[in-house]
Amino acid sequence: MVSIEALEFTYDGQRKFQFPDFSIDREPLLILGESGVGKTTLLHLIAGLLRPESGKVSIDGQEVSNLPLHKMDRFRGRHIGMVFQRPQFIRSLDLGENLRFIQYLSGKSPDNTRIKKVLDSLGLSDRINCASYMLSQGEQQRAAIAMALINHPTLILADEPTSSLDDRNCQNVIALLQQQAEVHQADLIIITHDLRLKEGFTQTLSL
Amino acid sequence: MNVLHLSLKNIISRPWWSGLSLVLLILGVGMIALMGHLEKNVNKTIAQNTSGIDMVVGAKGSPLQLILSSVLHIDAPTGNIPLSTLETLRHDRLVEKAIPLSYGDNFQGNRIVGTDSGFMGFYRLELAQGHGFKEDFEVVIGESVAKATGLKIGDRFTGAHGLQGGGHSHDEHAYKVVGILKYSGSVADHLILTSQESVWHIHSHEEDSDQKDHHEEEQEITAILVKFRNPMGIIQLPRKINQLPNLQAAVPTIEMNRLMGLLGVGVDTLKMVSVAIMLIGSLSIFITLLATMQDRKFEMAFMRAYGASRKQLVALVLWESLVLTGIGTLIGLFFSRLGMWVLNGAFKESYHYGIDLLAFGKEDLRIFLVACAMGVVAGIIPALQAFRLNISKTLANA
């Protein structure tokens, strides 16, 4: 359950963004918009990586826009999983260690069964000891989803997860995200300028 | 898997950079610790062996040489002085003790010293076996001599002329071991003690057989160790003796301070070079962290997005610097002891001085703490960059 209300943000006192109110509950949301309309800004506001100038963001009944910084870090670690346009990993760790470290960051105790389960569901079990930069691009994209899911998030935020993928992989990734969100009973918000995605979503929002 | 663990992984993931920093730290720390340890041991050895000796009287020459030869037993003597000097000194009311020393021979590089029974009391020596020397050619040997040569009570051996190993041997006169000393930590461990008469007999006999000048010469000794009755001695006696022809008085503490002052310049220079190397080691850690920050920005922003706090990123960077410095310092300290071990072999070979090896002291702890402080300093600026990282902007540009 995510809702935003009268959200506003200004960069350097010049570029002002106002975002329409919305609220979702278990139904995946696709946010479409051209470059520069503030899609990533909106996503970062929801994730608490940016502070809104005014307005409210609530996740599962918790108003996050005014949480102190360290509490926001903790909240993000426990409740939000993020997928980025280009998959990001900690370079010096292998895939399994990356997942374990993300578990550690959320303050949860290490859970190898969970790691195994998530990797299994994404077809990556045999890559657990592989250095992140040795994974193929398709594997990296799936591994990025594994990172987002590992801590049982209640909200998955995906920032242009498909822009660098071909049609077939694009469909696969979106299907995976939707399927995994459903399995994990998490809210899913995807922002993109990729019109290929429009068909698969019942809820869309254009900025 | 935690922040410390990740910092280790990060260090390992850049082996060349980490290796360079480690080598510099090991070299710097190793040299500093080695210098410190060496200096401490030399000072200790000197202090141990000069304690109780207020003044040394010998033939004119370098006072430092006189001290080195007759107190530390590592240099050649300056020459001989008449035996009558000993009597004169013993009658002086300012002198508490005066011990004669006569050199001439060695056995396998261990000096044979002609002296009297006062020597044992002077150095507070105790016998482990046997009794003190009474008759001519009876000797008492130091603990290290017994170990090195394998001589036992009742064994006989002949001395070789000179103070180093080899040389012409006096085969016609054999010394007999009658006593072995307990370990004392002083020079006496490396000495063979006998009566003065033994030393005289060997050499006068030699002259007889060589049919050289036959006139009665006054008996001679090499040096006299003196302990004063009161501090007045140090003021009056050295000056008085130095005015006499052919005699000089040297004060061990003055000469040793002079020696350490001379050596100190070299030691200080080496220490300064080592500190510079250590600083360069820290600098290389700093540069590595700073240079890799550009690449790691994204991974750090990503970690923040997954719940890492700013504190954790700061800790990560500081740990990387600190762990590297700590490991380098510990290996450096270990290498300093390895160096001591090697030097110790050489020392024993040429000077018969052992050095206690593995004792880690306050000095090492201080080096370790200073190095760790340097590690923190090297990490501060990169850590601040991690602290100030703009996550949103970095992620948007990733």
Say which of A78, A100, A151 has its CB closest to residue B1.
Answer: A100
Instruction: Give the amino acid at A178.
Output: Q
Say which of B307, B392, B398 has its CB closest to residue A50.
Answer: B392
Q: Does B294 touch chain A (CB under 8 A)?
A: no
Whether the Cβ atoms of residue B117 and residue B132 lie closer than 8 Å to each other: yes
Residue B259 lies in a domain: no
Contacts of B354 (CB under 8 A, 6+ apart): B144, B344, B347, B348
Residue B131 lies in a domain: yes
Distance from CA of A99 to the nearest CA of B (A): 10
Partners of A49 on chain B (C-beta within 8 Å) are 304-305, 391-392, 395
The CA distance from B197 to B109, in Å, is: 21
Alpha helices in chain B, H assignment, sequence order: 3-13, 15-50, 63-70, 84-91, 118-122, 143-149, 196-209, 232-243, 252-305, 310-351, 362-388, 391-397
Based on the number of CB atoms within 10 Å of its own CB, is A100 exposed (0-12), middle (13-18) or buried (19 or more)? buried
For A83-116, the pLDDT digits (tens) are 988 888 999 999 999 999 999 999 888 899 999 9
Whether the Cβ atoms of residue B75 and residue B68 lie closer than 8 Å to each other: yes
Q: What was the pLDDT predicted at B210?
A: 46
Q: Does A38 touch chain B (CB under 8 A)?
A: no
Whether B398 sits inside 8 A of A91 (CB atoms) is no
For testing contact with chain A, the best of B14, B306, B312 (most A CBs within 10 A): B306
Q: Does A91 touch chain B (CB under 8 A)?
A: yes
Average pLDDT for residues A42-67, to the nearest whole number?
A: 90
The CA distance from B214 to B204, in Å, is: 10
Q: What is the CATH number of domain A2-206?
A: 3.40.50.300
Partners of B9 on chain A (C-beta within 8 Å) are 92-93, 97
Partners of B307 on chain A (C-beta within 8 Å) are 73-74, 76-78, 102, 105-107, 151
Closest-CA residue of chain B to A75: B307
Q: Does A50 touch chain B (CB under 8 A)?
A: yes
Q: How far does Cα B340 stand from its chain's mean position?
A: 9
In chain B, residues 21-60 whose CB comes closer than 8 Å to chain A: none
Of B93, B377, B298, nearest to A133 (Cα)? B298
Distance from CA of A146 to the nearest CA of B (A): 12
Q: What was the pLDDT predicted at A101?
A: 94
Residue B256 lies in a domain: no
How far CA B333 is from CA of B18, B28, B340, B364, in Å, comes to 18, 10, 11, 7
Final residue of a domain: which of B226, B250, B274?
B250
Same domain, B268 and B321: yes
Q: How far does Cα A10 stand from its chain's mean position?
A: 23
**Tens-digit pLDDT string for chain B (398 aa):** 789 999 999 999 999 999 999 999 999 999 999 888 888 878 887 887 888 889 999 999 999 999 989 988 888 888 899 999 999 899 988 999 999 999 878 888 889 999 988 888 888 889 999 999 988 889 999 988 998 889 999 999 988 887 666 666 666 778 999 999 998 878 888 899 999 888 888 776 555 444 444 444 568 899 999 999 988 888 889 999 999 888 999 999 899 888 888 888 888 899 999 999 999 999 999 999 999 998 899 999 999 999 999 999 999 999 999 999 999 999 999 999 888 888 877 776 666 565 665 667 788 899 999 999 999 999 999 999 999 999 888 988 87
The CA distance from B398 to B394, in Å, is: 6
The CA distance from A44 to B248, in Å, is: 89
Partners of B10 on chain A (C-beta within 8 Å) are 92
Say which of B10, B303, B395 has its CB closest to residue A84.
Answer: B395
Closest-CA residue of chain A to B11: A92
For A2-48, the pLDDT digits (tens) are 999 888 998 887 888 999 999 998 889 999 988 888 889 999 999 99
Final residue of a domain: which of B250, B275, B291?
B250
Average pLDDT for residues A52-61, to the nearest whole number?
A: 90
Q: Does A82 touch chain B (CB under 8 A)?
A: yes
Query: B139 pairs with which residues across the strands?
Result: B177, B194
Q: What was the pLDDT predicted at B362?
A: 84
Distance from CA of B10 to the nearest CA of A (A): 6
Contacts of A73 (CB under 8 A, 6+ apart): B304, B307, B308, B309, B310
Q: Does B265 touch chain A (CB under 8 A)?
A: no
Domain that holds residue B293: 3-46+264-397
How far CA B108 is from CA of B24, B45, B76, B147, B151, in Å, comes to 42, 23, 16, 12, 11
Same domain, B15 and B151: no
The per-residue DSSP string of A79-124 comes to HEEEE-SS----TTSBHHHHHHHHHHHTTPPP-HHHHHHHHHHTT-
Q: What was the pLDDT predicted at B214?
A: 41
Q: Does B388 touch chain A (CB under 8 A)?
A: no
Residue B171 lies in a domain: yes
Residue B321 lies in a domain: yes
Same domain, B275 and B349: yes
Q: What was the pLDDT predicted at A61?
A: 86
Same domain, B319 and B277: yes
Whether A76 sits inside 8 A of B306 (CB atoms) is yes
Residue B255 lies in a domain: no
Whether the Cβ atoms of residue B96 and residue B106 lie closer than 8 Å to each other: no
Number of domains in chain B: 2
User: Which residue is associated with the tokens 């033994």?
Assistant: B198
Mean pLDDT of chain A: 89
Same domain, B93 and B138: yes
Q: What was the pLDDT predicted at B350?
A: 60
Q: What was the pLDDT predicted at B215?
A: 43
Residue B61 backbone dihedrals phi, psi, to 5 degrees? 155, -155
pTM of structure: 0.78
For A181-197, the pLDDT digits (tens) are 988 889 999 999 888 88
Closest-CA residue of chain A to B394: A49
For testing contact with chain B, the best of A74, A98, A101, A151 (most B CBs within 10 A): A101
Partners of A97 on chain B (C-beta within 8 Å) are 1, 9
Residue B257 lies in a domain: no
Closest-CA residue of chain B to A73: B307
Whether A105 sits inside 8 A of B306 (CB atoms) is yes
Say which of A91, A104, A159 has its CB closest to residue B1.
Answer: A104
> What's the token pair of residue A123?
């077809």
Residue B66 lies in a domain: yes
Domain ranges of chain A: 2-206
* pLDDT interval class at A176 (50, 70, 90): confident
Whether the Cβ atoms of residue B386 and residue B300 lie closer than 8 Å to each other: yes
Q: Does B1 touch chain A (CB under 8 A)?
A: yes
Closest-CA residue of chain B to A151: B306
Number of other residues whose CB lies within 10 A of the CB of residue A20: 12
Contacts of B264 (CB under 8 A, 6+ apart): none
For testing contact with chain B, the best of A45, A104, A114 (most B CBs within 10 A): A104
